[in-house]
């Protein structure tokens, strides 16, 4: 009887080994393919996240209003561009006035300040983000009051920023007429050598100079740069746009012979077509730095909303304010202030003592007379003391950041704010307090990775940087 062999037993051992190797190779290939797909997928996701996805994530949320990374990134670029243009403008002015060492030193200081702002990208970015958060708060409060801004209003302001006024330039607002100064009592006339207080300072520089003892700077105001990157609307747009041509009246002088007058060129009329050319050129420049036109228009829209809200909130701020009329003597130390008090107590004349020792340069001219002022105009510790004194009373030494003051209150009454500047300052203080209150009652969240969205461009060209 023949015994049949199992076919499997005829398979030699080498064949078994080869089959196992084939299966192992297939697993290796499959594993490699899976690994390669994962690596490519991770790289692709990282690229997609860096270029697209991360910009769609919010960098801040105010209530249910979101600020996404793309919007924030472009806004930073827009405002950086404004600072770069301002830098280039000041640099050009410095070249034109290069023969004047004082101007060159002044402009170099301004250029260095701008560079320090632009180079600190984290600070710049956080400043812009905080402003955008404030804009969302404004939007929320404006919606409550039914405040809106139309596309036509946005376009009108855009035209104005390009110095294009199709309906003519806007007429200035009439200045508020100040009521006459109140009559001094015989007691007040006894206190001072003059018969009326000096007028309130008309500018912030003068107010600071009054207390600080410094003369307001006469340097060109248009190039002053604040310490924080506070970007005005005009800085955002107008610096790169050609100004409106001015048509001058040209009258021939009598010394020119008849019939030989020199023909003058006619100024180009700033038409809508020219405005559109300038506008499109600016939009093209923005596109070159990665900023969409809609970002610019939203920026302007937010500005208009904030102005309308400001007007609505401050409309009822009264011009009649509790005010004091005071004068002071400023010295460096407490011992010097005590010596001043002793001299006054001994019967010496205020004006004579003030003119001799005060560090306030303006005080040497008007015997330290600050005129009438309301709350919020002076440093707090100085203001608090002045408002607490009776008429004619002299304070104990009061320390401020400027030194030591001896203060005398000469009047205290409800009266009109004398200047538009001071009234606007009152409105601003009122609005700031209101804004702080409403902000405290809102949910505000700032993402931890907002800094990943802050660009360092545009920036000042390397060969334009000052040392």
* pLDDT value for 82: 94
* pLDDT value for 208: 36
* pLDDT value for 133: 97
Round the CA-based radius of gyration of the chain to a whole number and report it.
35
- The structural domains of the chain, with segments of one domain joined by +, span 197-215+319-426
* pLDDT value for 182: 52
- Distance (Å, whole) CA 85 – CA 88: 5
- Distance (Å, whole) CA 227 – CA 224: 10
Residue with tokens 């009051």: 145
- Was domain 197-215+319-426 assigned CATH 3.10.50.40? yes
* pLDDT value for 6: 55
* pLDDT value for 150: 97
Contact between 378 and 211 under an 8 Å Cβ cutoff? The reply is: yes
* pLDDT value for 231: 39
368: left (phi over 0), alpha (psi -120 to 50) or beta: left
- Distance (Å, whole) CA 342 – CA 355: 16
Report field, pTM of the whole predicted structure over 0.75: no
Please enumerate in sequence order all residues whose Cβ is within 8 A of that of 110, keeping only pairs 6 or more positions apart, or say none.
90, 223, 224, 225
Q: Give the strand order in the sheet containing 403-416.
A: 369-374, 320-331, 403-416, 398-400
Residue with tokens 């460096």: 332
Nearest one of 343, 348, 337 to 402, comparing CA atoms = 337
Other beta carbons less than 10 A from residue 356's beta carbon: 12
Q: DSSP letters of 106-147? A: HHHHHHHHHHHHHH-HHHHHHHHHHHHHHHHHHHHHHHHTT-
Contact between 438 and 366 under an 8 Å Cβ cutoff? The reply is: no
* pLDDT value for 422: 86
Stretches where the chain sits below pLDDT 50 are 11, 45, 48-49, 178, 180-181, 193-259
């Amino acid at each position: 009887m023949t015994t049949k062999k199992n076919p499997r037993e005829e398979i030699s051992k080498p064949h078994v080994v080869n089959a196992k190797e084939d299966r192992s190779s297939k697993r290796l290939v499959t594993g490699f393919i899976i690994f390669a797909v994962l690596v490519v997928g991770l790289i692709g996701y990282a690229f997609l996240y860096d270029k697209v996805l991360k910009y769609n994530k919010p960098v801040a949320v105010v209530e249910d209003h979101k600020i996404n990374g793309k919007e924030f990134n472009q806004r930073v670029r827009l405002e950086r561009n404004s600072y770069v243009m301002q830098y280039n403008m000041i640099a050009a002015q410095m070249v034109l006035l290069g023969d004047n060492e004082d101007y060159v030193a002044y402009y170099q200081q301004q250029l260095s300040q701008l560079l320090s702002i632009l180079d600190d990208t984290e600070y710049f970015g956080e400043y812009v983000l905080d402003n955008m958060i404030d804009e969302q708060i404004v939007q929320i409060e404006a919606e409550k009051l039914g405040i809106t801004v139309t596309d036509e209003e946005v376009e009108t302001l855009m035209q104005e920023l390009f110095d294009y006024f199709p309906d003519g330039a806007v007429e200035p607002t009439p200045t508020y007429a100040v009521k006459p100064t109140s009559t001094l009592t015989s007691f007040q006339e006894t206190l001072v050598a003059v018969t009326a207080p000096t007028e309130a300072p008309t500018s912030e520089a003068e107010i600071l100079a009054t207390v600080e003892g410094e003369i307001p700077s006469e340097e060109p105001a248009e190039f002053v740069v604040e310490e924080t990157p506070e970007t005005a609307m005009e800085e955002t747009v107008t610096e790169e746009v050609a100004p409106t041509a001015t048509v001058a009246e040209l009258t021939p002088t009598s010394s020119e012979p008849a019939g030989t007058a020199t023909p003058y060129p006619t100024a180009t009329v700033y038409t809508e077509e020219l405005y559109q050319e300038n506008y499109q050129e600016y939009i093209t420049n923005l596109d070159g730095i990665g900023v969409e036109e809609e970002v610019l228009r939203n920026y302007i829209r937010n500005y208009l909303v904030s102005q309308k809200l400001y007007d609505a909130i401050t409309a009822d701020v009264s011009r009649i304010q509790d005010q004091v009329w005071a004068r002071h003597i400023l010295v460096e130390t407490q011992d010097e202030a005590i010596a001043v008090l002793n001299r006054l107590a001994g019967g010496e004349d205020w004006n004579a003592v003030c003119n001799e020792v005060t560090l306030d340069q303006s005080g040497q001219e008007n015997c330290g007379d600050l005129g009438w002022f309301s709350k919020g105009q002076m440093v707090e510790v100085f203001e608090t003391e002045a408002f607490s004194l009776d008429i004619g009373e002299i304070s104990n030494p009061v320390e401020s950041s400027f030194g030591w003051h001896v203060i005398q209150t000469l009047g205290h009454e409800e009266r009109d704010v004398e200047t538009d500047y001071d009234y606007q300052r009152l409105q601003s203080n009122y609005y700031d307090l209101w804004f702080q209150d409403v902000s405290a009652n809102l949910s505000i969240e700032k993402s931890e990775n907002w800094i990943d969205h802050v660009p360092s461009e545009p920036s000042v060209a390397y060969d334009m940087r000052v040392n």
